[in-house]
Amino acid sequence: MKLHSITSRDTTQVPSTSTSAPYSQYSQSFEETLKTAASEQSSPQPAADSMSELGTNQLSPSWSFSPQPTEEPGPVPKNNAAAAYEQQARLSSEPAPMSDLQKYKDDQLLRNPGGKHYYLDKKEIIENPEDQDSFVGRITKDLSDSFGNILNFFENFFLGSKILYRDQNNQIQEAQQRGLLGTIVNFVKDLGSALSFGFWHPDEAEAPQGFMNRLVYSANKLKDALMKDLLEGVPSSANHMAQNLILAGWNLIEVLPDAAVGNFKEGRKLTSTIFDNGQVVVEYLTDIIPSGDAWLRAHAASLKEMQPPLIYNLRMPEHYTGDTRWQYVRNTPLRKSIESIGALLADAAAIALIGTTAFSSNRDHPVK
């Protein structure tokens, strides 16, 4: 991620306010301010009784002495100078705006270990990592990423692995995915709460009161058990586990080119480009298949807002915190487009596969 460097040409386009001034204007007037202050200190001050020497009879009663004010600019206030320096430092430290493609790749590489510049354990993205200059550092990073994905596989089997994402302020945050066993436990809790009409409520501090409240509570819990836990949660957790295994092998293969051509700058750049983009492709393909994260977003619908699948996702904003399906990604127009197209193609492939399998089964076992 390249930092945007602010030049004097850039800063002249920033409008000055009552609390800040462009950096270039201040730098031009600073020396003049010093000269003005020095001249005021060195010039002699007029005597206090200089007017008395003229005598009152020499002054015409029709006019009085009133010197014209000079239009020389005064010294730059210290608070304006400090604000200009602060604004310059803030603009210089802010990264350049990212394109939709860069946002997509950044989101994907933050989810699982493997990115050459992504150090997820430190929650850092380093533009020029020093460990990549040495043979041991490159091999260690590849093996560490592979081991990290294997560890995520077991975490997703139990309670779920941790992932990183960017919030609305572009800050890296941490979240946890649902694990397979954790989802099954939630299914048991939700189903038990539904069947008991809220008399057993392990996830709530208080039980619902009244017949209607218990009936609504039971219906919501039954929907969560069947839809959220059984149909979405279990397949999604299995999908994450498969993704971790594929990426672990991908990171392990990266050891070979890093060892062979990693001593050359161009070799390191080529290896990083191929394997980082390859990881993004792997995550995209596992996301768009049925039960993948992108597939779930594309097929989401809203009965309350009367929006069918695909349309509901296309109308979602880039940042949405009301649902975990969208909370951990930046749902840019590019992401919506490629995920919607990919999910539709995956549906067509699944239907064709089921049809081919059913046809082959009927031909192998003809009805007598």
**What are the backbone dihedrals phi and psi of residue 163, each rounded to the nearest 5 degrees, phi first?**
-130, 160
Q: Indicate whether 270 belongs to any domain.
A: yes
Q: Indicate whether 199 belongs to any domain.
A: no
Report pLDDT for 203.
85
CA separation for the pair 159, 178 (Å, rounded): 6
Report pLDDT for 8.
37
Residues near 330 by beta carbon (within 8 Å), at least 6 away in sequence: 103, 104, 107, 166, 318, 319
Residues of the chain with pLDDT under 50: 1-31, 33-34, 37, 41-67
Q: Select from 319, 333, 287 the least CA-distant residue to 171.
A: 319
Report pLDDT for 85.
65
Report pLDDT for 82.
66
Among all chains, which residue has been given the structure tokens 């990083």?
Answer: 272
Into how many domains does the chain fold? 1
Q: Count the alpha carbons within 13 Å of 141 in the hemisphere toward its beta carbon.
A: 22
Among all chains, which residue has been given the structure tokens 């990264």?
Answer: 95
Give just the sign of the alpha carbon dihedral 307, 313, 318, 319.
positive
**162 forms bridges with which residues in the sheet?**
176
Q: Select from 30, 5, 279 the least CA-distant residue to 142.
A: 279
Structural contact between residues 131 and 184, judged by C-beta atoms closer than 8 angstroms? no
Q: Indicate whether 84 belongs to any domain.
A: no
Q: Indicate whether 24 belongs to any domain.
A: no
Report pLDDT for 84.
64
Q: Select from 125, 104, 100 the least CA-distant residue to 114.
A: 125
Residue-wise pLDDT for 37-76, tens only, equals 455 544 444 443 443 443 444 444 343 444 455 555 555 5
Q: Indicate whether 239 belongs to any domain.
A: yes
Give the domain range for residue 148: 102-179+235-288
Report pLDDT for 358.
74
Question: pTM for this structure?
Answer: 0.72
Residue-wise pLDDT for 11-47, tens only, equals 334 333 433 333 333 344 444 544 554 555 444 444 4
Q: Indicate whether 190 belongs to any domain.
A: no
In which element (H, E) is residue 80 found?
A: helix 78-93
Q: Indicate whether 147 belongs to any domain.
A: yes
Structural contact between residues 244 and 153, judged by C-beta atoms closer than 8 angstroms? yes
Q: Indicate whether 87 belongs to any domain.
A: no
